[in-house]
Amino acid sequence: MRGRLIFPTFLLFTLLGAVPSFAAKDASQDKLKKVQTEMLWQKKQAEDLDRKSRETAGNLQELQKKLIEATRALQDKQDEEQQVEERLKGLENEISAKNAALDKSRHELSTLTDVLIRIAQQPPETYFLRAGLTDEHIHRAILARALLPRLEAESESNARDLAVLADLRWMAKEQKRLVEAAQKNLKSQQSGLDQLVQTRQGLLNRTEKQKTAIAEQLVSLTNEARDLRQLLARVAPPGAHPKEGGKFSSLLERPVAGSIVRTFGSKDSDGITSHGLTFKTPLGTPVVAPASGRVVFAGPFRGYGQILILQHKGGYHSFLAGFGRIDAEMGQDVEAGEPLGVMPVKEAAEKPELYFEWRRNGEPVDPMEQKFRAKQASP
């Protein structure tokens, strides 16, 4: 009887001991499945992030191309507008000169006509019957008679000038219409370009932490550098790039539309030598990167207003000053011809100016020796 009790009891304890073992095994398998599921989800998330990153990079690259094309088109239109405005100004000056000449001629003709009318009313024979007739009266009468053909010629000339003046006024009116149409077109293109720039900056997707770090770096650079030379030394320290004896490997993009008013090496009224080029530009003109590079400084700097410094390959840097607004950030990579900002847009007595300095291994060199890319012919 005792033996019979032992076996069932042993079997019971054995079975009871096996229950926790089976339960632990099931729990481990569930945990493993959860870990595997989590890993699959994280892998999918990583793949999605990688895909989005590639899409963003592709979109940014495509957007950069659109920005460059849109900026070049806008610059061409601005050049065309400037040419139309110059033609209009020339026509207005010509009209003003014609009006002044006609006014003077009218006055002379009026005086001459009055004299001739008075003489015509008294034939020369009557002078011989008048007492006190002098040689001066006779000479005056003969001279007046001789001036009659000139009066007719001047009248015909004035008639022709009036016809020319009417044509000039019509041409000036047409040029004004073209200027207004060009300005309207420019505003539309500038608005489209601004939207593209905002989209580009949005695609950069910088975190608040990165933006804070950039802002702190800007403040540090501005506070530590007392002048431009020190600032350039900090953003482009000596030995940071290998020295190259030759020129830049490609043509430079013209940084802004407009005319060059100061060349490299020229001196101003105070005898200060220019180390770059100064462009006089239309209001709101986009400023573009002269070559592909990275923004190493972008913001206000003492005495220079809004400035931007780009770092290029081979020890080259470019310095741009005179912005009304900067649309690029420190650390941002840009392509040649890509917009960096715009010139001032507020009306001023004179057109705004952009200063452009091209540096090799820390020393300014003449950008004209490097040469700018030729403009494409407008369709």
Residue 136 sits in a domain whose CATH number is 1.10.287
User: Would you state the structure tokens that stand for residue 306, as one six-digit string?
Assistant: 């809004």
In a domain, 54, yes or no: no
In a domain, 23, yes or no: no
How many whole angstroms separate alpha carbon 119 and alpha carbon 112? 11
Q: Which of 187, 202, 217 is the last residue of a domain?
A: 202
Same-domain check for residues 198 and 231: no
Same-domain check for residues 250 and 356: yes
Please work out, in degrees rounded to the nearest 5, the angle formed at the alpha carbon of residue 318 by the alpha carbons of 209 and 235: 45
User: Would you state the structure tokens that stand for residue 327, as one six-digit string?
Assistant: 């649309």
Percent of the chain with pLDDT over 90: 22
Domain limits for position 255:
226-370
Same-domain check for residues 245 and 333: yes
Same-domain check for residues 72 and 175: yes
In a domain, 3, yes or no: no
Spatial contact of 232 and 359, defined as CB atoms under 8 Å apart: yes
Same-domain check for residues 189 and 306: no
Q: Residue 299 pairs with which residues in a beta bridge?
A: 307
Same-domain check for residues 186 and 255: no
Using CB atoms within 10 Å of the CB of residue 349, give its burial: 0 to 12 exposed, 13 to 18 middle, 19+ buried.
exposed
Query: Residue 258 pLDDT more than 60?
Result: yes
User: Would you state the structure tokens that stand for residue 84, as one six-digit string?
Assistant: 């139309």
Cα-only R_g, the chain: 41
Residue 290 sits in a domain whose CATH number is 2.70.70.10
Angle between helices 2-121 and 135-204 in degrees, nearest 10: 180
Q: Which of 170, 202, 234 is the last residue of a domain?
A: 202
Summarised one tens digit per residue, pLDDT across range 108-148 is: 777 767 766 766 565 555 555 555 555 555 566 666 666 66
Q: How far is CA 376 from CA 9, 74, 76, 338, 379, in A?
A: 100, 12, 9, 16, 9
pLDDT at residue 13, rounded to an integer: 47
Query: Residue 233 pLDDT more than 50?
Result: yes
Same-domain check for residues 89 and 160: yes
pLDDT at residue 316, rounded to an integer: 93
pLDDT at residue 120, rounded to an integer: 59
How many whole angstroms separate alpha carbon 290 and alpha carbon 251? 9
Same-domain check for residues 234 and 348: yes
Backbone angles phi, psi at 100, to 5 degrees: -65, -45
The stretches of the chain forming alpha helices (DSSP H) are: 2-121, 125-129, 135-204, 208-224, 228-235, 367-370
How many whole angstroms separate alpha carbon 83 and alpha carbon 90? 10
Q: What is the pTM of this model?
A: 0.63
Same-domain check for residues 233 and 332: yes
In a domain, 362, yes or no: yes
Query: Tokens 């024979």 — which residue?
Result: 125
Please work out, in degrees rounded to the nearest 5, the angle formed at the alpha carbon of residue 151 by the alpha carbons of 146 and 154: 135
* Ramachandran class of 154: left when φ > 0, alpha when ψ lies in -120 to 50, beta otherwise: alpha
Q: Which of 35-44, 73-82, 255-264, 360-369 has the lowest mean pLDDT?
A: 35-44
Same-domain check for residues 163 and 125: yes
In a domain, 92, yes or no: yes
pLDDT at residue 2, rounded to an integer: 46
In a domain, 216, yes or no: no
Query: Residue 379 pLDDT more than 70?
Result: no
Same-domain check for residues 270 and 317: yes
Query: Residue 278 contacts by C-beta under 8 Å, 6 or more apart in sequence?
Result: 260, 261, 262, 353, 354, 355, 356
Structural domains of the chain, count: 2
Query: Residue 81 contacts by C-beta under 8 Å, 6 or more apart in sequence?
Result: 179, 182, 183, 186, 282
In a domain, 4, yes or no: no
Same-domain check for residues 238 and 345: yes
Mean pLDDT score of the chain, rounded to an integer? Answer: 76
In a domain, 7, yes or no: no
